Amino acid sequence: MHEAKHILSTDQFERDELLELFEEADEMEKILEVGGGDYLHGKIMATLFFEPSTRTRFSFESAMLRLGGSVISNADMVNTSSLKKQESLEDTGRTVSRMADVIVMRHPEAGSVSKLASFCDVPVINGGDGPNDHPTQGLLDLYTIWKERGSLDGLTIGMVGDLKYGRVVHSQCKLLKHFDVKFVLVSPKALAVPEEIGEELAGVGREVKLSEKLEDAIGEMDVISMTRVQEERFKDRSDYEKYAGAYVLDGELMKKAKPDAIVIHPLPRVDEISPEVDDDPRAKYFEQPGNGVAVRMALLKGILMGEDVK
Amino acid sequence: MHEAKHILSTDQFERDELLELFEEADEMEKILEVGGGDYLHGKIMATLFFEPSTRTRFSFESAMLRLGGSVISNADMVNTSSLKKQESLEDTGRTVSRMADVIVMRHPEAGSVSKLASFCDVPVINGGDGPNDHPTQGLLDLYTIWKERGSLDGLTIGMVGDLKYGRVVHSQCKLLKHFDVKFVLVSPKALAVPEEIGEELAGVGREVKLSEKLEDAIGEMDVISMTRVQEERFKDRSDYEKYAGAYVLDGELMKKAKPDAIVIHPLPRVDEISPEVDDDPRAKYFEQPGNGVAVRMALLKGILMGEDVK
Amino acid sequence: MHEAKHILSTDQFERDELLELFEEADEMEKILEVGGGDYLHGKIMATLFFEPSTRTRFSFESAMLRLGGSVISNADMVNTSSLKKQESLEDTGRTVSRMADVIVMRHPEAGSVSKLASFCDVPVINGGDGPNDHPTQGLLDLYTIWKERGSLDGLTIGMVGDLKYGRVVHSQCKLLKHFDVKFVLVSPKALAVPEEIGEELAGVGREVKLSEKLEDAIGEMDVISMTRVQEERFKDRSDYEKYAGAYVLDGELMKKAKPDAIVIHPLPRVDEISPEVDDDPRAKYFEQPGNGVAVRMALLKGILMGEDVK
In the three-class reduction of DSSP (H, G, I as helix; E, B as strand; rest coil), residue C137 is classed as: helix
Q: Round the average pLDDT of chain B to a whole number and report it.
A: 92
- pLDDT of amino acid B167: 87
Q: How high is the pLDDT of residue A82?
A: 53
pLDDT higher than 90, residue C6: yes
Neighbours of C52 (CB within 10 A): 21
Best of C47, C50, C82, C105 to substitute, by most chain B Cβ atoms within 10 angstroms, is: C82
Per-residue model confidence as pLDDT tens digits over C7-57? 999 999 999 999 999 999 999 999 999 999 999 999 999 999 999 999 999
Measured distance CA(A269)–CA(B87) in Å, rounded: 6
The confidence score (pLDDT) of residue A237 equals 82
Helix (H, G, I), strand (E, B) or coil at A102: strand
- What was the pLDDT predicted at A179? 98
Q: Does residue C123 surpass a pLDDT of 90?
A: yes
> What ipTM was estimated for this complex?
0.93
Answer yes or no: do A44 and C65 touch at CB < 8 A.
yes
Low-confidence ranges of chain A (pLDDT < 70): 1-4, 80-85, 232-233, 307-310
Rg (CA), chain B: 19
Q: What is the pLDDT of residues B205-256, one digit of tens each?
A: 999 999 999 999 999 999 999 998 777 667 788 877 777 777 899 999 999 9
Question: Is B56 in the active site?
Answer: yes
Distance from CA of C66 to the nearest CA of A (A): 6
Whole-number pLDDT of residue A80: 67
pLDDT of residue B310: 39
Give the per-residue pLDDT at B242.
74
Mean pLDDT for B182-193 is: 92
**From the candidates B44, B72, B115, which should be mutated to test the interface with A, based on the most A CB atoms within 10 A?**
B72
Contact criterion met (CB < 8 Å) for A270 and B85: yes
- Closest C-alpha among C62, C14, C9 to residue C291: C62
Name residue B39's amino acid: Y
CATH number of the structural domain B136-277:
3.40.50.1370
Over residues A247-270, the pLDDT tens digits come to 899 999 999 999 999 999 999 998
End-to-end Cα separation, chain A, in angstroms: 20
**Burial (Cβ within 10 Å: 0-12, 13-18, ≥19) of residue A210:** middle
Taking residues B187-194, report their average pLDDT.
89
Identity (one letter) of the amino acid at C84?
K
pLDDT confidence of C228, banded at 50, 70, 90? confident
Pair C55, C267: CB distance under 8 Å: yes
> Which stretch of B286-295, C78-87, C90-99, C135-144 has the lowest confidence by average pLDDT?
C78-87
Positions of C marked catalytic? 55-56, 85, 106, 134
CA distances from C208 to C146, C162, C186, C262 (A): 20, 16, 11, 19
* Amino acid letter, residue B94: R
Of B12-26, B106-120, B197-211, B295-309, the one with minimum mean pLDDT is B295-309
The model's pTM is 0.95
Catalytic annotation present for B85: yes
Give me the long-range contacts of C199-202 (CB less than 8 A, separation at least 24): C200/C173, C200/C174, C201/C173, C201/C177
Higher pLDDT, A232 or B274: B274
pLDDT at position A246: 72
Please tell me the predicted confidence (pLDDT) of residue C166: 87
Q: What does the pLDDT average to over C240-267?
A: 91
Lowest mean pLDDT across B225-234, B279-288, C99-108: B225-234
pLDDT above 50: residue C119: yes
pLDDT at residue B2, as a whole number: 44
CA distance C189 to chain A (A): 25
| B174/B185 Cα distance (integer angstroms) | 14
Beta carbons of A54 and B82 less than 8 Å apart? yes
Residue of B nearest to A294 (CA): B99
- Residue B309 is predicted with a pLDDT of 39
Distance from CA of C189 to the nearest CA of B (A): 45
Q: Please check whether the two domains, B10-133+289-304 and B136-277, share a CATH topology.
A: yes
* Active-site annotation holds for B134: yes
Task: Kindly tell me if the per-residue pLDDT of B271 is higher than 90.
Answer: no
Of B74, B77, B99, the CB nearest to A62: B99
| Residue B289 contacts C, CB cutoff 8 Å | yes
For residue B147, CA distances in Å to A30, B22, B143, B265, C108 come to 44, 8, 6, 15, 39
Bigger pLDDT: B127 vs B233: B127
Is there a contact between B42 and A66 if contact means CB atoms under 8 Å apart? yes
Would you call B289 and C81 a contact, using CB atoms and an 8 Å cutoff? no
Q: What is the C-alpha separation between A11 and B233, in angstroms, rounded?
A: 55
Any idea which of A245-254, B133-142, B287-296, C146-155 has the lowest mean pLDDT? A245-254
Most C CBs within 10 Å, among A76, A83, A99, to test the C interface: A99
On the question of pLDDT at C203 being above 80, the answer is yes
Best mutation target, A82, A92, A120, to test chain C (most C CBs within 10 A): A82
Please tell me the class of the C10-133+289-304 domain. Answer: alpha beta
Residues 10-49 of A with CB under 8 A from B: 35-36
Q: What is the mean pLDDT of chain A?
A: 92
Q: Average pLDDT, stretch C114-140?
A: 95
Edge-to-edge strand ranges of the sheet holding B262-264: B208-211, B182-186, B156-160, B223-226, B262-264
pLDDT at B238: 82
pLDDT band at C307; cut points 50, 70, 90? very low
What pLDDT shows up at residue B85?
58
Q: Determine whether the interchain pair C269/A91 forms a contact, defined as Cβ–Cβ distance below 8 Å.
A: yes
Looking at residue C77, what is its pLDDT?
87
The answer to whether B172 touches B142, Cβ cutoff 8 Å, is yes
Query: What pLDDT does B307 receive?
Result: 47
Are A82 and C286 in contact (CB < 8 Å)?
no
Closest Cα of chain B to C96: distance in Å? 8
Give the Cα separation of B69 and B73 in Å (integer): 13
**Chain B residues lying within 8 Å of A228, measured CB to CB:** 85
Residue B281 Cα distances to B45, B227, B274, B276, B284, angstroms: 36, 19, 14, 11, 8
Query: From the CB of residue A3, how many other CB atoms can be counted at a distance below 10 Å?
Result: 7
pLDDT of A85 reads: 58
Helix, strand, coil shares, percent, chain C, to 5: 45, 15, 40
Which chain C residue's Cα is nearest to B72? C72
What residues in B contact C82, CB-CB < 8 Å? Answer: 53-55, 267-268
Neighbouring chains of A at 3+ CB pairs under 8 Å are B, C
Quote the pLDDT of residue C69. 98
Torsion of CA A199, A205, A209, A214, to 10 degrees: -100
Q: What pLDDT is stored for residue C303 in this prediction?
A: 96
Query: By the CB < 8 Å criterion, does A241 face chain B?
Result: no
Q: What percentage of chain B reaches a pLDDT higher than 70?
A: 95
B82 pLDDT exceeds 60?
A: no
User: Taking CB atoms and an 8 Å cutoff, what residues of chain C touch B59?
Assistant: 99
Q: What is the pLDDT of residue C240?
A: 78
**Which residue, among B111, A268, B95, has the nearest Cα to B103 in the 3D structure?**
B95
pLDDT of residue A47: 98
The alpha carbon of residue C282 is apart from the nearest alpha carbon of chain A, in Å, by: 17
The domain locations on chain A are 10-133+289-304, 136-277
Distance CA B9, CA A91 (A): 49
**Which chain A residues touch C76 with a CB distance below 8 Å?**
76, 79-80
For residue A68, give the chain C residue with the closest CA.
Answer: C68
Catalytic residue of the set B106, B170, B228, B269: B106
Closest to C74 (Cβ–Cβ): which among B35, B54, B270?
B54
Question: Which positions of A are annotated as active-site residues?
Answer: 55-56, 85, 106, 134
Tell me what pLDDT residue A84 has.
57
Amino acid at C145: I
Name chain B contacts of A41, Cβ cutoff 8 Å: none
Cα separation, C136 vs C303, whole angstroms: 14
Angle between helices C288-304 and C135-149 (to 10 degrees): 110
Percent of chain C with pLDDT over 70: 95
List pLDDT tens digits, range C51-95: 999 999 999 999 999 999 999 999 988 876 655 557 889 999 999
C240 versus A177: the higher-pLDDT residue is A177
Measured distance CA(B74)–CA(A56) in Å, rounded: 12
